């Protein structure tokens, strides 16, 4: 069960930020971790394989199939990135129209392409909302035990 508890602790604290300054920090600490509560493992799901679509090969093949040469594609991409990064460009009405076209295309890709791809199995989600974790310095535990024995 130790590996399971370590895994659950990692998931529970995955978004915790370490508040450390720049430089090497030496750590020599003994702690007691109290874990109490419940964990719910949800069932596996079948989902569209959006994460497993390789973006770079897909773009390369798209450019090839569209008849766009590498240099021309890179120049167009460079221009588009530069324009998109310029201040105020998103306020332009023609850009807003094109953004609407892209949104429509993304919706079409989702409905007409992704939904028709074979589904992939995704592991069920872990619900850790009822899991409480407390970290106590081992020195505090030892002091408490000494008081209880005395």
Residue with tokens 């035990």: 145
Alpha-carbon 38 to chain mean position: 24
Question: Which tens digit of pLDDT belongs to each residue from 118-132?
Answer: 888 888 888 888 888
How many other C-beta atoms can be found within 10 angstroms of the C-beta atom of residue 25?
A: 8
Token output for 10:
């990692």
- pLDDT at residue 118, as a whole number: 80
Q: Is the pLDDT assigned to residue 88 strictly greater than 60? A: no
* Average pLDDT for 3-9: 83
- pLDDT at residue 139, as a whole number: 72
Phi/psi of residue 127, nearest 5 degrees = -100, 110
Higher pLDDT, 89 or 20: 20
């Amino acid at each position: 069960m130790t590996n399971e508890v370590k895994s659950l602790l990692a998931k529970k604290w995955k978004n915790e930020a370490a508040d450390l300054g720049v430089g090497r920090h030496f750590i020599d600490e003994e702690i007691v971790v109290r874990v109490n509560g419940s964990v719910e493992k949800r069932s596996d799901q079948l989902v569209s394989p959006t994460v497993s679509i390789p973006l770079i090969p897909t773009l390369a093949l798209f450019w090839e199939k569209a008849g766009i040469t590498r240099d021309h594609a890179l120049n167009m991409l460079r221009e588009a990135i530069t324009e998109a990064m310029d201040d105020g460009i998103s306020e332009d009405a023609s850009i807003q129209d094109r953004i609407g076209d892209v949104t429509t295309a993304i919706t079409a890709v989702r409905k007409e392409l992704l939904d028709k791809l074979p589904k992939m199995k995704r592991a069920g989600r872990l619900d850790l909302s009822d899991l409480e974790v407390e970290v106590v310095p081992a020195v505090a535990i030892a002091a408490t035990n000494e008081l209880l024995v005395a």
